Structure 1
Amino acid sequence: MNSTGVPQFAFVGLAVADVAASVGFYRRLGVGFPEGAEGEPHVEGEVPGGPLLVLDSEATIRSFHPGWRPPSGGSRSALAFRCASPAQVDALYGELTGAGYHGELEPWDAFWGQRYAVVHDPDGNGVDLLAPLEDRP
């Protein structure tokens, strides 16, 4: 809590099957994980311009919540990364899919005024890449 007593948003946490694979993916998106994070069961990385991204291995979650199971049948959440330009959306999508990550939705000009694409992280979480279209405010 801050000095006003109001709770403040702290982080986004993901349960991951392979911490090293997830650290590698999110580092490509600029998340600052410390050296050696690949070998840890719980890691925290600074997201440029935002809160922390916290990754916990499935085993770590089961260590304090034995009945936990990964969701099945799709995800109800996604992370989004704002890019500097529509061209960066295209380039980053190409880099990630070229590195073997699954591209769910190729870059396109969304009707709400953004260049938009979706790629999956190593655990199948949707990660949106977006940038305002240059001809829109």
Structure 2
Amino acid sequence: MTTWTDVINYVRTRHEVLEDTGSWLRFRLECEGDRTQQVAVHHVPDLDGVEWLEISSPVGRADAIDLRRLLELAGEATIGGAAVVDGVALLKHVAPLEDLSVLDEFARPLELLVNRADALEQELTHADEF
């Protein structure tokens, strides 16, 4: 069984943590073409008796991008759904924490989501803000 501490340790040994509140981590990953992408991992405890892990990565400021196009492009991906939180458009993926293998069921979705978010950011904003 994977714990939130396992996820924290996995992230800390591989990435520079920009922010840690105890229930979520924000860090940056390297992407293709000297681009970087921020990602947040949230621990969502005891939702219906199950702990959840949410991975999210920003795409752009919601008021500065074509949200309809974001939804269309997000719908083509095998992982992640589009959302707007605090005025920022992002991709999100949620999974039950106890079922995760940190290496397989966390690392792979993390990589896929972050790379997709960066590609969408590049396409929709032509920038590398996040």
Check whether TM > 0.5: no
TM-score after normalising by structure 1: 0.29
TM-score after normalising by structure 2: 0.30
Higher RCO, 1 or 2 (CA under 8 Å, sep at least 6)?
2
